[in-house]
């Protein structure tokens, strides 16, 4: 944490002593939300990742850097649609000038915003900006805990109709009836699971193998009731300080465990951590083995998997520890996993996670990453404010 404070302290002093006073002379007093937007824009510098197109033939592209800054503002202000953003830009002079337009007539139309957003999604602009920000701030930092979890992303599109699985190959004919005493009949081999196959894949192969089509997902809420939604699932690795390190978007029906190994591989390229914290959905030998191969210590909640004896043993052990007032060190560390839940909550409540109005996995990922970018920059600045 001290290294992050030292890294962002000059940025904060520059904002407080130079940029904010200059902006207030130009725009008037800045509200708290406007100051937050200025901080986010100055930290991520999204315009530096948009190429110039001055000398290309054809009609010039309109204000792509300003449009990108406007989409960041949309996430910071938690606006539900691009139309609301355009209405705000037409009436809010300060917001319009912070995005880069001096006059109302310079703001492009909604169709231009839509085409620019599609180009950002195809070029993976937000993913590249977030990766650069994390590498700049966490490449040489040792992270204690990496919390892994997913959150539901509801979308307004038709779920993909899944094809029926192919019929199993015909098994050799065998005698009818029960087998004789001591007789062993051969069973058809089970196909390898995705977790087993991921051990021999590269990072890109693992990412390409994950399904990304819109479909129906289901999960139990905190009250034990099953909830269904149509859309996607965003898997996030969160470092200490509630800082998102890496994200993967998949179909809503994909089990959390199947995205754990590629997500851990992505995070390991950006930072170094000691402990991997995961809930019972990630209770798998393949995930533990991969975590240890990266030099991490996996702390994963045990999943009894309908094993009544194991479930009773875990409950009895919990009662014994509670009776003597003792907590295992792994339990204390596991409690840090709530950082991922707080990040999921902030992303949905404050940075546009509940307002997905685009269709297709690339555009949905771009929308989510605008919110994750703003959330990451906001969390980083909390170390010096």
Half-sphere exposure of 290 toward its Cβ, with a 13 Å CA cutoff?
A: 28
Per-residue pLDDT at 165: 67
pLDDT band for position 4 (cuts 50, 70, 90)? low
Note the pLDDT tens digit of each residue in 224-275.
788 899 999 999 999 998 999 999 999 999 999 999 999 999 999 999 999 9
Half-sphere exposure of 107 toward its Cβ, with a 13 Å CA cutoff?
A: 23
Note the pLDDT tens digit of each residue in 18-36.
666 767 777 778 788 988 8
DSSP reduced 3-state for 296: coil
Per-residue pLDDT at 75: 96
Indicate the length of the chain as a whole number. 385
Over residues 330-351, mean pLDDT: 93
Per-residue pLDDT at 308: 87
Integer-rounded Cα radius of gyration of the chain: 25
Per-residue pLDDT at 365: 97
Over residues 131-156, mean pLDDT: 93
Over residues 142-153, mean pLDDT: 94
267 CB-near residues (< 8 Å, 6+ apart)? 146, 237, 245, 246, 273
Per-residue pLDDT at 160: 84
CA distance 143 to 133: 16
Q: Read out DSSP for 190-254?
A: PPPPHHHHHTTS-HHHHHHHS--S-EEEEEE-TTS-EEEEEEEEEEEEEETTTEEEEEEEEETTS
Note the pLDDT tens digit of each residue in 37-67.
988 998 899 999 987 664 556 556 768 999 9
pLDDT band for position 341 (cuts 50, 70, 90)? very high
The fraction of the chain above a pLDDT of 90, given in percent, is: 59
For the chain, the structural domain boundaries read: 2-128, 143-160+194-360
For the chain, the average pLDDT equals: 87
Does the pLDDT value for residue 120 go beyond 90? Answer: yes
What is the value of pTM for the model shown? 0.87
Does the pLDDT value for residue 317 go beyond 80? Answer: yes
The helix or strand, by DSSP H or E, that contains position 31, with its residue range, turns out to be: none
Note the pLDDT tens digit of each residue in 159-211.
988 766 666 665 566 667 777 777 777 777 788 889 999 988 999 999 999 99
Per-residue pLDDT at 385: 66
Which range has the worst mean pLDDT, 18-32, 119-133, 143-157, 359-373?
18-32
Per-residue pLDDT at 275: 96
88 CB-near residues (< 8 Å, 6+ apart)? 77, 79, 95
Per-residue pLDDT at 10: 61
162 CB-near residues (< 8 Å, 6+ apart)? 215
Per-residue pLDDT at 19: 64
Q: Is 99 exposed, middle or buried (0-12, 13-18, 19+ CB in 10 A)?
A: buried
Q: Is 157 exposed, middle or buried (0-12, 13-18, 19+ CB in 10 A)?
A: middle
């Amino acid at each position: 944490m001290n290294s992050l404070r030292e890294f962002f302290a000059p940025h904060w002093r520059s904002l407080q002593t130079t940029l904010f006073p200059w902006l207030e002379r130009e725009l008037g007093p800045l509200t708290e939300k406007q100051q937050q937007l200025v901080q986010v824009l100055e930290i991520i510098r999204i315009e530096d990742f948009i190429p110039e197109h001055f000398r290309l033939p054809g009609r010039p592209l309109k204000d792509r850097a300003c449009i990108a800054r406007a989409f960041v503002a949309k996430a910071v202000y938690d606006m539900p649609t691009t139309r609301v953003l355009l209405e705000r830009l037409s009436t809010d002079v300060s917001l319009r000038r912070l995005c880069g337009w001096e006059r109302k007539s310079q703001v492009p139309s909604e169709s231009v915003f839509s085409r620019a957003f599609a180009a950002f999604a195809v070029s993976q602009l937000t993913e590249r900006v977030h990766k650069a920000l994390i590498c700049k701030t966490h490449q040489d930092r040792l992270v204690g805990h990496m919390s892994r979890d997913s959150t539901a992303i509801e979308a307004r599109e038709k779920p993909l109709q899944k094809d029926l699985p192919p019929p199993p190959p015909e098994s050799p004919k065998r005698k009818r009836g029960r087998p004789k005493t001591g007789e062993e009949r051969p069973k058809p081999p089970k196909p390898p699971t995705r977790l087993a196959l991921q051990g021999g894949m590269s990072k890109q192969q693992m990412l390409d193998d994950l399904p990304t089509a819109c479909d129906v997902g289901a999960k139990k809420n905190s009250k034990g009731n099953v909830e269904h939604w149509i859309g996607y699932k965003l898997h996030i690795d969160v470092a200490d300080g509630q800082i998102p390190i890496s994200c993967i978007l998949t179909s809503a029906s994909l089990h959390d465990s199947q995205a754990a190994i590629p997500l851990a591989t992505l995070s390991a390229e950006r930072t170094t951590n000691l402990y991997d914290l995961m809930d019972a959905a990630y209770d798998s030998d393949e995930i533990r083995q991969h975590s240890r191969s990266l030099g991490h210590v996996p702390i994963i909640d045990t999943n009894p998997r309908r094993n009544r004896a194991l479930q009773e043993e875990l409950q009895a052990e919990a009662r014994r520890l509670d009776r003597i007032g003792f907590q295992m060190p792994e339990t204390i560390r596991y409690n840090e996993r709530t950082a991922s839940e707080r990040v999921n909550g902030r992303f949905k409540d404050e940075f546009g996670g509940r307002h997905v109005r685009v269709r297709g996995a690339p555009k949905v990922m771009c929308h989510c990453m605008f919110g994750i970018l703003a959330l990451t920059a906001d969390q980083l600045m909390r170390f010096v404010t």
